[in-house]
Amino acid sequence: MCSRSLSLVLCGVGCLATACAGDSARRVFRVCADPNNLPFSNQRQEGFENRIAAVIAADFDARLEYTWFPQRRGFVRHTLRAGLCDAVIGVPDRFGLTATTRPYYRSTYVFVTRRDSSIHLQSLDDAALRNLTIGVHLIGDDYANPPPMHALARRNIIHNVAGYTIYGDYSQPNPPARLIEAVANREVDVAIVWGPLAGYFATRQSVPLQITAVSPEIDEPAIPLAFSIALGVRKGDEVLRAELDGVLDRRSAEIASILTEYGVPVRPLSATVATAAGGGGN
């Protein structure tokens, strides 16, 4: 899935670090994030998770500080468990490695195709998928399978699938964008991509692309293709979690506007898929 900024409270349960300026102390809101992972975050703070972190810091009247770390295996261990930060800006609801706030948006995997093609997909059960080259993201050097790959494999759609590592060449900007670019460049006929990635990068290609939500949202018996996204804090930090829930309530319209600006395809939170994301050694 997706995009994950993982963080930890430094000065004890329920408390944020403070920084002294002269005789006064000001709250500091620390966030761990990937420095090269638009549309979620980058070191220039151009991602929508950067924007949401800034909203939270403003609500807290706190100074926002970042610890930058690539989102790889071990990200949680080297950030959250190392005590480097305060909060997570984007993790799946009920994420196993953190406590989570209420979800603040829900999105889904989508089909991405060229608008000038004759491809019109609606469902993973569409027979056309067996005759198309399908691009998917793969996670990690061990080529772990994300949900769309499991769903395709369950249908025995394997040999016409092209894998693009979500980590890619980290010396280049925004490695996950390569899969969306592959559709624009006709390297693949269709990509199945996490919605926020598709919504942001599809509009930045040289040709018009079409985005269609994948259905079903739960590929029975138990492969979710839509996820609710929350903020995460260290387990046991109920005070900070409650504070963040308050910000999400007070600033919900502002946060929704940011998601719209970045082209995030959102689904109703009332239809939240209850999932617990595995940590994979993080």
Indicate whether 271 pLDDT > 60: no
Give the pLDDT band of residue 141 (cuts 50, 70, 90): low
CA–CA separation, 99 and 31 (whole Å): 15
Indicate whether 268 pLDDT > 50: yes
Strand segments (E) across the chain: 18-21, 24-33, 36-37, 41-42, 63-68, 88-92, 99-100, 105-114, 134-138, 161-165, 190-194, 209-213, 218-219, 223-224, 226-233
Amino acid identity, position 127: A
Indicate whether 42 pLDDT > 50: yes
Query: Which tens digit of pLDDT belongs to each residue from 170-191?
Result: 889 999 999 999 999 999 999 9
- List the domains of the chain with CATH numbers: 18-105+227-271 (3.40.190.10), 106-224 (3.40.190.10)
Give the pLDDT band of residue 144 (cuts 50, 70, 90): low
Indicate whether 266 pLDDT > 50: yes
What mean pLDDT comes out for the span 260-277?
A: 74
Of 59-68, 99-108, 163-172, 252-261, the poorest mean pLDDT is in 163-172
Within a 10 A sphere around the Cβ of 156, how many other Cβ atoms?
A: 8
> What is the pLDDT, as a whole number, of residue 236?
85
Taking alpha carbons only, the member of 97, 85, 149, 148 closest to residue 276 is 97
Q: Which residues pair with 193 in a beta bridge?
A: 110
pTM: 0.85
> What is the pLDDT, as a whole number, of residue 282?
59
Of 31-45, 50-64, 86-100, 266-280, the poorest mean pLDDT is in 266-280
- What mean pLDDT, rounded, does the chain reach? 86
> What is the pLDDT, as a whole number, of residue 166?
87
Share of the chain above pLDDT 90, in %: 66
> What is the pLDDT, as a whole number, of residue 87?
86
What mean pLDDT comes out for the span 82-91?
A: 88
> What is the pLDDT, as a whole number, of residue 25?
84
Q: Which two tokens stand for residue 31?
A: 């966030």
Indicate whether 270 pLDDT > 60: yes
How far apart are the two ends of the chain, measured CA to CA in Å?
A: 14
